[in-house]
Amino acid sequence: MAKHHITLTLNGETVETLVEPRELLIHTIRERLNQTGSHIGCETSHCGACTVDLNGESVKACTILAVQANGAEVLTVEGLAAGGTLHAIQEGFMQEHGLQCGYCTPGMLVRAYRLLQENPNPTEDEIRFGMAGNLCRCTGYQNIIKAVQYAAAKLQTTAEAA
Amino acid sequence: MTDQTSNTGQAPAEDRVQGIGCARKRKEDPRFIQGKGNYVDDVKLPGMLHLDVVRSPYAHARIKSIDKSAALALPGVYAVLTAEDLKPLNLHWMPTLAGDVQAVLADEKVHFQMQEVAVVVARDRYIAADATELVQVEYEELPAVVDPHAALEPDAPVLREDLAGKTAGAHGARTHHNHIFTWDVGEKDATDRAFDNAPVTVKEQLFYPRVHPCPLETCGCVASFDKVREHLTVYITSQAPHVVRTVVSMLSGIPESKVRIISPDIGGGFGNKVGVYPGYVCAIVASIVLGRPVKWIEDRIENLSTTAFARDYHMAGELAADETGRIKALRVNVIADHGAFDACADPSKFPAGLFHICTGSYDIPVAYARVDGVYTNKAPGGVAYRCSFRVTEAVYLIERMIDVLAQKLGMDKAEIRLRNFIKREQFPYQSALGWEYDSGDYETALKKVLDAVDYPALRKEQEDKRARGELMGIGICTFTEIVGAGPTRNCDILGVGMFDSAEIRVHPTGSAIARMGTITQGQGHQTTYAQIIASELGIPSDEIQIEEGDTDTAPYGLGTYGSRSTPVGGAATAMAARKIKAKARKIAAHLLEVAEDDLDWDTDRFKVKGVPGQEKTMKEIAWAAYNDLPEGMEPGLESVDYYDPPNFTYPFGAYLCVVDIDKYTGETSIRRFYALDDCGTRINPMIIEGQIHGGLTEGFAVAMGQQLVFDESGNISGNTLMDYFVPTMVETPHWETDYTVTPSPHHPIGAKGVAESPHVGSIPCFSNAIVDAFAHLGVTHMTMPHSAFNVWRQIHELGLDARDAA
């Protein structure tokens, strides 16, 4: 199958690769670009394990073709920590025990990262609705909600100090 | 819960080592929150090929022909394998854990929809998927048998032609061509007599639907056979890597020493990853044949349809009692739908698992239980979905039946439990069906919960609401589990006793590495095992590395399922540490020039009794172990322990659930769920609470929505996440947790295991709450799942949704 040349900004770096026209973005990211943090749990856009941030929106990378992402800015879990410092949402998940097996975690983190930009101070209900596209089989979600609240508080404190 | 993780200079010694009882943060988290986990699908080996599976569209059919020429002609396809190709290797069938055989690839017949018929190996996963479409299979459809009761009709179709003429299976006589086994326990005649003489009896048909554990990561493997070294490495999503090594060696003929099984990070198991599946076997065969690494990763539809299921128990429960509600006898008859092959993952001697824990938390003088296993045209399995073997079914039975009895007697559902509990002073307690319960205090647990929720006020509110025609239910569940399989005198898998193991090495500078035969799938072993060692040896838990899952380095163990890690692996860890401590004491005595009896242990050091300042820390002792030893002592400071538990452990809990039901839509709102668990000694309160939240949520899923549904032709409907209910954050209730501590008397640190209790205990609690909302209208049982539609049907049948004419 003839391949297409695409260019992406992946976690701040410009990358180029050849993809099949039918290739899913999640496969391109994981297998061609070797960023395996984002996972595959269903390939039908229900579980959210493959969630990435694409041009400032949360997108399930199992239901978008790589060619559709040509020219896009893509952020995955590997790009959350900056300069060796964990992002507040990563810290929150660790502090509040927001993960167990870790499989849903990259998608959860990337979705929570975006949610907190859309709504910096969400209520518990807003978190529950805002992250309903990401399934977790281990935690029962309660500590994930606490982790998002932890990050929201920390980001606000940091913003006020700045 | 207090957070004891602060690590300041003023912290007491016990806090410094972060041992048992400390809510320390998890050692696993840094890699997972940065995308640096290493799951099976992340494994990429040079020259790796991809395997995909051709599956049957029919539940029951004869295979007339398979034409693989078009698939083989597709560029990038390396091989297409069918049962014919596996036959010369004698690998077209494989033994199951339950003493049956299972087709690796369908041999002449398919027995369930989505059964593996052929596999394709190709350069990448897209080509492999294309090629599966090009394999032409001609079928002759046969009548399918979906209902296990129908399967036992005299003229039912013969499902397993390969068993023709076999009147006995692995578990005794077969009474019908679709019958697998009859297993019974207890005193039948005495039980029947107790029923004949009892003033009150109740009976209820309880169907526990077929469900699936559905971990977020599906099953898969990467098999890599090195033709030069004749060595096989398999990265695999397995909850029992050492058992897989034994099975692979037995199947392939490769010496066990040349088989290396690695369970890397596992994305949840919940019982789904205990078995050995055809996809694994085919990937291994393909790698051996082609001499290249071969990856097989199932998709979600394949996962829900084929790699095991749980439950599917049709239970007839009966209780006999006196007029005061004291239970006199329990009788249970079960038809167990095992699907097309008996591939249940149970200890060999227990074809119905530990189902005979079904007398529950109650002092029942006599009981009898019988289970008949039956073949149907459905996928094989019968795994323990976040529970010990068939314990969820058993607990569901007794916890539903005691409510049915309470309703018959007009008794309060808390009162009937208090009246029948095994009393604290009766432990160790011998149950009517043969178990010795180690410890418990059920009354204290239930009373604590009733106080916490103000139970009398809730019942008063319910009475008022009923008077207004509103539906409110209060569910109670006071469960006892049996976990930690198990004593090797009666527990084995494929003949290997169900011990578990730990190996600890203390390095010269005082840090340590430990390896276990279990494997974490999210439970946090790398955190909690280190805490056990920290408490035993005084080495800070941050300086203890825990490794599991690589059979080349870890000692042999039976793996992680049935809440056995803490009861068995945790015990082995404590015992291995104690062997090191015994040697350390001798070294300390030598260094301090005193007798061993003159030493006291204090957190992380030995002190000479009555001589302040005369002491040796574990760090100093570790150094001495490599250069300054008593005469004749062998150098080094390490140990290994294979722990054969003297008994199971019996965690318990008291749960209470309050629901409000919309009488027009059938939608249930979980207003409150209060879960009190007693898992004995608590190693890490933060992790325990997380495990309980997760188990409650999985229980919520089972009770309220999960079911693998089949039509009369055996078509599975609902095998994607569109249809199969996995709760999101929106539906999931808020959980309240509580605890009591009743240590296990026979476990080295008194711990019992916890992660499965909330699943086992919550499911009947939800059902009890739903049924309780209708109890005043004479409803005694409603079949799960309690989806809005199913609940509405009950409402509609009772005419409760009739609107007043305006």
pLDDT in tens, B101-122: 999 999 999 999 999 999 999 9
Tell whether A28 is within 8 A of chain B (Cβ).
no
Could you give the angle at the alpha carbon of B199 between the alpha carbons of B193 and B202, nearest 5°? 85
Rounded CA separation B728/B747 (Å)? 37
Residues B524 and B598 in one domain: yes
Confidence check: pLDDT of B484 > 70: yes
> For the residues B602-629, what does the mean pLDDT come to?
97
Which residues contact residue A46 at a Cβ distance below 8 angstroms, ignoring those fewer than 6 apart?
A: A135, B720, B721, B722, B726
Residues B470 and B560 in one domain: no
Residues B621 and B753 in one domain: no
B165 belongs to a structural domain: no
Residues B138 and B257 in one domain: yes
Q: Which three-class secondary structure state does DSSP give residue B349?
A: coil
pLDDT for residue B9? 43
Rounded CA separation B697/B348 (Å)? 31
B154 belongs to a structural domain: no
The number of CA neighbours under 13 Å toward the Cβ of B278 is 33
pLDDT for residue B235? 98
Cβ contact B732–A78 (<8 Å):
no
The DSSP-derived string for A95-145 is HTT--SS-SSHHHHHHHHHHHHHH-SS--HHHHHHHTTTS--SSS-SHHHH
B48 belongs to a structural domain: yes
Task: Tell me how close the Cα of A3 comes to any Cα of chain B, in angstroms.
Answer: 14
**Residue that finishes a domain, picked among B643, B672, B687:** B643
B626 belongs to a structural domain: yes
The answer to whether B763 and B396 are in contact (CB under 8 A) is yes
Inter-chain contacts counted by CB atoms under 8 A, chains A and B:
169
Could you give the angle at the alpha carbon of B112 between the alpha carbons of B106 and B114, nearest 5°? 80
pLDDT tens digits along B189-219? 999 999 999 999 999 999 999 999 999 999 9
What are the structure tokens assigned to B590, written together? 């030598």
Residues B439 and B465 in one domain: yes
pLDDT for residue B320? 98
Least confident range from B12-21, B237-246, B692-701: namely B12-21
Residues B134 and B89 in one domain: yes
Q: Phi-psi category of B580—alpha, beta or left, where left has phi over 0 and alpha has psi -120 to 50?
A: alpha
Domains of chain A as residue ranges with CATH: 4-79 (3.10.20.30), 88-161 (1.10.150.120)
Cβ contact B300–A42 (<8 Å):
yes
User: Which residue among the candidates B548, B756, B765, B794 is catalytic per the annotation?
Assistant: B756
Q: What is the DSSP letter of B105?
A: S
| Class of residue B334 by CB neighbours under 10 A (exposed 0-12, middle 13-18, buried 19+) | buried
Task: Tell me how close the Cα of A95 comes to any Cα of chain B, in angstroms.
Answer: 7
Task: Tell me how close the Cα of A85 comes to any Cα of chain B, in angstroms.
Answer: 11
What are the structure tokens assigned to B525, written together? 């072993």
B531 belongs to a structural domain: yes
CA B678, B681, B686, B690 dihedral sign is negative
| Class of residue B524 by CB neighbours under 10 A (exposed 0-12, middle 13-18, buried 19+) | buried
Cβ count within 10 A of residue B585: 17
The answer, yes or no, to whether the previous bond of B651 is cis (omega within 30 of 0) is no
* A75 interaction partners in chain B (CB closer than 8 Å): none
pLDDT for residue B15? 77
pLDDT for residue B11? 56
pLDDT for residue B445? 98
Residues 392-421 in B contacting A (C-alpha not used; CB under 8 Å): none
Cβ count within 10 A of residue B547: 15
Question: Which residue, chain included where needed, has tokens 């596999």?
Answer: B119
Q: Which three-class secondary structure state does DSSP give residue B281?
A: helix
The DSSP-derived string for B118-135 is EEEEESSHHHHHHHHHH-
Cβ contact A100–B39 (<8 Å):
no
Task: Tell me how close the Cα of A150 comes to any Cα of chain B, in angstroms.
Answer: 15
B293 belongs to a structural domain: yes
pLDDT for residue B803? 86
Tell whether B258 is within 8 A of chain A (Cβ).
no
pLDDT for residue B14? 66
Specify the pTM.
Answer: 0.97
Question: pLDDT class for B16, splitting at 50, 70, 90?
Answer: confident
Cβ contact B216–A129 (<8 Å):
no
CA B17, B19, B21, B24 dihedral sign is positive
Rounded CA separation B742/B567 (Å)? 14
Mean pLDDT, chain B, as a whole number? Answer: 96
Question: At A64, which amino acid appears?
Answer: I
Q: What is the layout of strands, in order, in the sheet containing A4-10?
A: A13-19, A4-10, A73-75, A51-54, A57-60
The answer to whether B579 and B641 are in contact (CB under 8 A) is yes
Cβ contact A141–B729 (<8 Å):
yes
Which alpha helices (H) appear in B705-805, and where do they start and end?
A: 757-774, 788-797
Q: Is B22 a catalytic residue?
A: no
Question: pLDDT class for B137, splitting at 50, 70, 90?
Answer: very high
Give me the domain span that covers residue B655: 396-485+647-797
Q: Is B358 a catalytic residue?
A: no
Q: What is the DSSP letter of A31?
A: I
The answer to whether B717 and B304 are in contact (CB under 8 A) is no
- Point out the residues of chain A with pLDDT beneath 70: none
* A95 interaction partners in chain B (CB closer than 8 Å): 25
Could you give the angle at the alpha carbon of B426 between the alpha carbons of B562 and B756, nearest 5°? 15
Closest to B730 (Cβ–Cβ): which among A30, A86, A129? Answer: A129
Rounded CA separation B277/B270 (Å)? 16
pLDDT tens digits along B508-547? 999 999 999 999 999 999 999 999 999 999 999 999 999 9
Confidence check: pLDDT of B155 > 90: yes
Which residue of B385, B702, B728 to mutate against A (max A Cβ within 10 Å)?
B728
CA B775, B779, B783, B787 dihedral sign is negative
Residues 91-130 in B contacting A (C-alpha not used; CB under 8 Å): 125-126
Rounded CA separation B319/B408 (Å)? 11
* B30 interaction partners in chain A (CB closer than 8 Å): 94
Residues 733-752 in B contacting A (C-alpha not used; CB under 8 Å): 734-735
Question: pLDDT class for B1, splitting at 50, 70, 90?
Answer: very low
Which CATH number goes with the domain that contains B675?
A: 3.30.365.10
Residues 59-88 in A contacting B (C-alpha not used; CB under 8 Å): 76-78, 80-81, 86
Distance of CA A90 to the CA centre of its chain: 11
> For the residues B470-495, what does the mean pLDDT come to?
96
> For the residues B371-386, what does the mean pLDDT come to?
97
Closest to B694 (Cβ–Cβ): which among A23, A131, A138? Answer: A138
Cβ contact B690–A46 (<8 Å):
no
* B697 interaction partners in chain A (CB closer than 8 Å): 137, 139-141
What are the structure tokens assigned to B149, written together? 């009761």
Rounded CA separation A22/B723 (Å)? 26
Tell whether A36 is within 8 A of chain B (Cβ).
yes
pLDDT tens digits along B422-442? 999 999 999 999 999 999 999
Cβ contact A46–B735 (<8 Å):
no
* B126 interaction partners in chain A (CB closer than 8 Å): 20, 22-23
Residues B519 and B419 in one domain: no
Quick one: which H or E segment has residue B235?
strand B231-236
Cβ contact A139–B694 (<8 Å):
yes
> For the residues B37-60, what does the mean pLDDT come to?
98
Cβ contact A101–B524 (<8 Å):
no
Tell whether B41 is within 8 A of chain A (Cβ).
yes
Question: pLDDT class for B2, splitting at 50, 70, 90?
Answer: very low
Q: Which three-class secondary structure state does DSSP give residue B442?
A: helix
Task: Tell me how close the Cα of A103 comes to any Cα of chain B, in angstroms.
Answer: 5
Q: Is B756 a catalytic residue?
A: yes
Task: Tell me how close the Cα of B584 comes to any Cα of chain A, in angstroms.
Answer: 35
Distance of CA B670 to the CA centre of its chain: 25
User: Which residue among the candidates B386, B564, B605, B682 is catalytic per the annotation?
Assistant: B386
Residues 433-452 in B contacting A (C-alpha not used; CB under 8 Å): none
Q: Which three-class secondary structure state does DSSP give residue B274?
A: coil
B520 belongs to a structural domain: yes
Residues B574 and B655 in one domain: no
ipTM rounded to 2 decimals:
0.98
B476 belongs to a structural domain: yes
> For the residues B443-460, what does the mean pLDDT come to?
98
The answer to whether B338 and B371 are in contact (CB under 8 A) is no
Residues B468 and B595 in one domain: no
| Class of residue A121 by CB neighbours under 10 A (exposed 0-12, middle 13-18, buried 19+) | exposed
Which CATH number goes with the domain that contains B119?
A: 3.90.1170.50
What are the structure tokens assigned to B16, written together? 């410094």
What are the structure tokens assigned to B608, written together? 């000479």
pLDDT for residue B529? 98
> For the residues B693-714, what does the mean pLDDT come to?
98
The answer to whether B120 and B54 are in contact (CB under 8 A) is yes
Task: Tell me the helices (H) and strands (E) count for chain B, helix number first.
Answer: 20, 36
Quick one: which H or E segment has residue B716?
strand B716-717
Tell whether B229 is within 8 A of chain A (Cβ).
no
pLDDT for residue B474? 98
Q: Kindly calculate the radius of gyration of chain A based on its CA atoms and give it in whole angstroms.
A: 16
Nearest to B375 by CA among B335, B416, B340: B340
Question: pLDDT class for B13, splitting at 50, 70, 90?
Answer: low
* A76 interaction partners in chain B (CB closer than 8 Å): 35
pLDDT for residue B685? 98
Tell whether B215 is within 8 A of chain A (Cβ).
yes
High-pLDDT (> 70) share of chain B, %: 98
Question: pLDDT class for B283, splitting at 50, 70, 90?
Answer: very high
Cβ contact B33–A99 (<8 Å):
yes
Cβ contact A101–B732 (<8 Å):
no
Phi then psi for residue B162, to 5 deg, are: -65, -15
Tell whether B756 is within 8 A of chain A (Cβ).
no
Number of domains in chain B: 3
Rounded CA separation B416/B529 (Å)? 40
pLDDT tens digits along B309-329? 999 999 999 999 999 999 999
Which residue of B3, B24, B28, B32 to mutate against A (max A Cβ within 10 Å)?
B32
Residues B222 and B256 in one domain: yes
Question: pLDDT class for B755, splitting at 50, 70, 90?
Answer: very high
Cβ contact B217–A101 (<8 Å):
yes
Phi then psi for residue B671, to 5 deg, are: -75, -40
Q: Is B526 a catalytic residue?
A: no
Residues B91 and B226 in one domain: yes
The answer to whether B656 and B474 are in contact (CB under 8 A) is yes
Residues B400 and B294 in one domain: no
Tell whether A32 is within 8 A of chain B (Cβ).
no
* A40 interaction partners in chain B (CB closer than 8 Å): 41
> For the residues B772-797, what does the mean pLDDT come to?
98
Question: pLDDT class for B6, splitting at 50, 70, 90?
Answer: very low
pLDDT for residue B3? 39
Phi then psi for residue A4, to 5 deg, are: -110, 145
Q: Which three-class secondary structure state does DSSP give residue B163?
A: helix
**Residue that finishes a domain, picked among B643, B678, B707:** B643
Cβ contact A44–B266 (<8 Å):
no
